[in-house]
Chain A
Amino acid sequence: MNFPFGKAPFFILLVALASGLGVFFTHRNYGQNRPTLVMLTAARLHADIYLRKLPEFERRHNVTVDVQVMDQFALRTRLQAAFATGGEVPDVVEMPQYASYFLRGPTKDVGLLDLTDWVKDNKLQERMVASRFSMWQRRGVVFGLPHDVHPVMLAYRADIVEDELKIDVSKIKTWDDFVALARPIVTTNRFALELSNVGSYWLSMLMLQRGIGLFNAQGEVTFDQPEIVDVVVWYLQQLLGPQRIAYDLGTNQPLWRGMRDGVVLFFFAPDWRTRSIEQYAPDLQGKMKLMPLPAWTPGGRRTSTWGATGIGATKGSRHPDLAKKLMEFLYVEQTDQGKSWMELHILPPVHDAWKLPAFDTPFPYFRNQPIMRMYANLADDVPPAYASPYTPKAEDKLNEAFLNCAAYFKAHGEDGLREFVRAEFKRQANDVRAAIARNVLMQQ
């Protein structure tokens, strides 16, 4: 056979033709057999549970539902691109963290369906934890349902704290109490609390507990309000001060390894983290316990929140009403008596669900504490965390401010620290305000 341009281009052409035909026929086939609803999620664990539940929904409505799992990052960017270009979109999408990436520009241009009236008609804000809607709305327009509450408690090595050191944690009501009890037990190889060197989620969570969000309900920047100084100075003292009680163990395996080794005795435990430690440090079975967060002030809030997932329907959905029914079925209805929530160690935001006996199950890992009941008791006190299209920028600026304050603290100690923190957070917050102010389209 004669190859006038060489063999390589011929084979490239062959591969291109084969893959092109493959894509064409697969797509055509999918188009012909397209399920009634397509749902996208980034959480494989969630998808496994939905696949168990969906046959009932499909039977009830005589429809088919396809659940697709995609990496979190790919999901966000592909959906953004699909919204921007008018490309094919799923009917329902489960979104990790804030929906902020999808809430830019005029409300009419948001690619997600406006659920405000539907939520109101079905009294979902009363049936669910109201503060959790803060992450899935913009200026009062609701674009999603919350999947979870993620209240935060402190998990601790009960075998060391209670059995060995004889500390009565029920006496700890405030962070001052905690620090007072923690200081004597800290050694060069043992610390009381985990805190991150870069601030990040740990700082945001403590700020929320103090009532400081990145934004308020109107979308205004609020992370430079005066109380921030107390939180940051406290954080720096405990992490970097001469009488430090905290240590940065990192996340995931290093953290669980550190907990096993007893390097840190208390760690921040939103509900989902209790599953992680159980999975990655099984030898701590029966050695861990949970307690509410110490409050910033006597009688103050004993919890915060860390992380969020939500679900929304797209404007491009061919069956928007059915999509809403699917969201309600998966997020609000309790079809398996709470079994799936217990599997995930995640507290649902649905008040009725908490009445299920499953939520009173004792957890042997946590010395038989009914941890889901403990989380449920704190759930209504979880602070709101309002979403904004500028949330990612605000998070960056918050961390930058924190790191600059940490550098100041290392160089100068507490001399002038409070003034520096105030000015630095103001400066960074003003950067976000400036970015928002120049967005002429957001005002529409």
Chain B
Amino acid sequence: MNPAAPAPLRPRPGRRLTSPWTPWLLLAPYVLLSGVFFVYPFFSAMRLAFYQTAGPHARAWVGLDNFRFILGDRDFRTALVNTVTFALANALILLPLSLGLALLLNSGRDRLKGFFRLVFFSPNVVGQVFVGIIFSVIFVPRYGLMNRFLQDLVGWGLETKWLQTPAMVMPAIIIANLWLYAGFNMVYFLAALQSVDESQVEAARIDGAGPLQVFWHVTLPAIKPVAVFVFVVSTISSFQLFELPFGLLQGNNGNFKGPANSGYTIVGYLYDAAYGLGDLGLAAAVGWTLAFVMLTVSVAQLKLSGTLGDDGGSST
């Protein structure tokens, strides 16, 4: 026996737990907590979606009427369009930007990497509500930083009413979101880039591949599992957008939906159903509809990227 090796673990003296109830006893805390906080609310919300509620105690069975109402409601369609617009902007602007930042950092000097990683990631630490409130000040017409910056840069924009003009509200939300999440997603991409096999990159270069070809044929396939993961998770969180427009638009006459519902999102609609109209049944139905939409979109994304059914291993 090696004297340096630790001594083998010996069963401690005392009563052994041999009762048939032992596994159940050990599982009990988990089962209890899951039951109370996950399973019961899950089925309760499912049941609630078929009721109409008002006030503290009153409820009435309405069958599928909540779903019928949602699908026919113009406000829900507006919220859906806004949410999808935001999700598309996320996919087309935010993720490429995050990847670009990650590529820049990955090719930079090691000493500065940590510093810039911190700089880009730090907005995420403060959270959506705080960022919303900060940007509601930044977007103030005439005196706000954004308009001053635009005026100095291109000689236009001093009077732009970002949060009062329906067409400008979604761009404002997207800009605030870029600042908030570009660094967050960058960290994922950076981690993936750092695990790319350097020998393959080197081999491609020796074979005469340019930087773009290396990126397209070596780097991108290597980071595909992470990219797909970030894409799906980012899309799911886009569909859950709520706190950012809430913080951003709340100061605008106290209406978090923005003018003409231009900042209204599906979760905003859900919140409004629950706390604005006091109808928890309608809110539950919105929740299930949202879950269905997110599931559909996520499956479609996985299918399109060829990841569905994959074991998640490297495809290089």
| B-binding residues in A (CB < 8 A) | 73, 77, 80, 83-86, 101, 104-106, 109-111, 197-198, 200-201, 248, 250-251, 253-254, 389-390, 392-393, 395-396, 399-400, 403-404, 431, 435, 438-442, 444
User: Which of A201, A254, A393 touches B142 (beta carbons < 8 Å)?
Assistant: A254
The total of Cβ contacts below 8 Å across the A-B interface reads: 96
Q: Which residues of chain B (106-162) have a CB below 8 Å from chain A?
A: 140-143, 161
Find out whether the CB atom of A441 lies under 8 angstroms from the CB atom of B55. yes
B10 within 8 A of A: no
B224 within 8 A of A: no
**Nearest chain A residue, comparing its CB with the CB of B259:** A198
User: Which of A85, A105, A396, A400 touches B278 (beta carbons < 8 Å)?
Assistant: A105
**Nearest chain B residue, comparing its CB with the CB of A252:** B251
Cα distance A105–B165 when bound, in Å?
Answer: 35
List the B side residues contacting A106 at CB < 8 Å.
Answer: 54-55, 58
Find out whether the CB atom of B141 lies under 8 angstroms from the CB atom of A250. yes
List the B side residues contacting A440 at CB < 8 Å.
Answer: 52, 60, 62
Cα distance A440–B166 when bound, in Å?
Answer: 34
List the B side residues contacting A198 at CB < 8 Å.
Answer: 164, 253, 259
Q: Which residues of chain B (255-304) have a CB below 8 Å from chain A?
A: 255, 257, 259-261, 272, 275-279
Cα distance A200–B260 when bound, in Å?
Answer: 11
If A84-B56, A439-B54 touch, whether A104 touches B260 (CB-CB below 8 Å) is no
Q: List 23 A-B contacts (CB under 8 A).
A: A85-B56, A86-B56, A104-B54, A104-B55, A105-B57, A109-B57, A197-B161, A197-B165, A200-B253, A254-B142, A389-B54, A392-B272, A392-B276, A400-B261, A403-B166, A404-B260, A431-B74, A439-B54, A440-B60, A441-B54, A441-B55, A441-B60, A442-B54
If A201-B253, A254-B143, A393-B276 touch, whether A441 touches B259 (CB-CB below 8 Å) is no
**Nearest chain A residue, comparing its CB with the CB of B61:** A440
Find out whether the CB atom of B260 lies under 8 angstroms from the CB atom of A389. no
List the A side residues contacting B56 at CB < 8 Å.
Answer: 83-86, 105, 109, 111
**Nearest chain A residue, comparing its CB with the CB of B66:** A438
A322 nearest CB across to chain B (Å)? 24
**Nearest chain B residue, comparing its CB with the CB of A441:** B54
Find out whether the CB atom of A396 lies under 8 angstroms from the CB atom of B54. no
A51 nearest CB across to chain B (Å)? 27
List the A side residues contacting B40 at CB < 8 Å.
Answer: none
| A-binding residues in B (CB < 8 A) | 52-60, 62, 65, 69, 74-75, 140-143, 161, 164-166, 250, 253, 255, 257, 259-261, 272, 275-279
List the B side residues contacting A73 at CB < 8 Å.
Answer: 250
B56 nearest CB across to chain A (Å)? 5
List the B side residues contacting A86 at CB < 8 Å.
Answer: 56
Q: Which of A109, A198, A251 has the most CB of B within 10 A?
A: A198
List the A side residues contacting B52 at CB < 8 Å.
Answer: 438-441
**Nearest chain B residue, comparing its CB with the CB of A81:** B275
User: Which of B53, B54, B140, B166 touches A254 (beta carbons < 8 Å)?
Assistant: B140
User: Which of A83, A101, A396 touches B255 (beta carbons < 8 Å)?
Assistant: A396
List the A side residues contacting B260 at CB < 8 Å.
Answer: 399-400, 403-404
Find out whether the CB atom of B278 lies under 8 angstroms from the CB atom of A104. yes
Find out whether the CB atom of B60 lies under 8 angstroms from the CB atom of A389. no
Cα distance A431–B260 when bound, in Å?
Answer: 14
**Nearest chain A residue, comparing its CB with the CB of B282:** A438
Find out whether the CB atom of B58 lies under 8 angstroms from the CB atom of A444. yes
Find out whether the CB atom of B69 lies under 8 angstroms from the CB atom of A438. yes
Find out whether the CB atom of A396 lies under 8 angstroms from the CB atom of B257. yes
List the A side residues contacting B143 at CB < 8 Å.
Answer: 253-254
User: Which of A105, A197, A392, A399 touches B55 (beta carbons < 8 Å)?
Assistant: A105
Known: A105-B58, A106-B54, A197-B161. 18 other contacts (CB 8 A): A86-B56, A101-B276, A101-B278, A105-B54, A105-B55, A248-B164, A253-B143, A254-B140, A254-B143, A390-B277, A392-B272, A392-B276, A396-B255, A403-B259, A439-B54, A439-B279, A440-B52, A441-B52
Find out whether the CB atom of A435 lies under 8 angstroms from the CB atom of B54. no
List the A side residues contacting B59 at CB < 8 Å.
Answer: 441
**Nearest chain B residue, comparing its CB with the CB of A199:** B259
A304 nearest CB across to chain B (Å)? 17
**Nearest chain A residue, comparing its CB with the CB of B264:** A396
Cα distance A198–B57 when bound, in Å?
Answer: 37
Q: Which of A105, A250, A442 has the most CB of B within 10 A?
A: A105
